[in-house]
Amino acid sequence: MVEISHLLDELTCAACGTLNALWLYPVRGVVECRECGEKASILLDGFDSIDSIDSIDGLDSSDGLGFDFCGGDR
């Protein structure tokens, strides 16, 4: 069985410091470093097929959380 994975370009592993060695396995919800083998669990929210992770259009500025997009107080 072939597993879907995506290279996470321009990201560095926090454990070993290797650039471009992190791979995302969305079905398992894991990011893995192919250099040192370190793994991290991730939570995926409900993006549909039209939305993408890079799209900011779907974010609502009045989300009621009390933070702006940069994380500062309103």
27-57 pLDDT, tens digit each = 899 999 999 999 999 987 765 544 555 544 5
Is the distance from CB of 16 to CB of 34 less than 8 angstroms?
Answer: no
Beta pairing partners, 30: 25, 41
DSSP-assigned beta bridge partners for residue 43: none
Two tokens at 51?
A: 């939305």
Q: Is the pTM of this model over 0.75?
A: no
What's the average model confidence in pLDDT over 5-30? Answer: 94
Range from 2-6, 17-21, 62-66 carrying the lowest mean pLDDT: 62-66
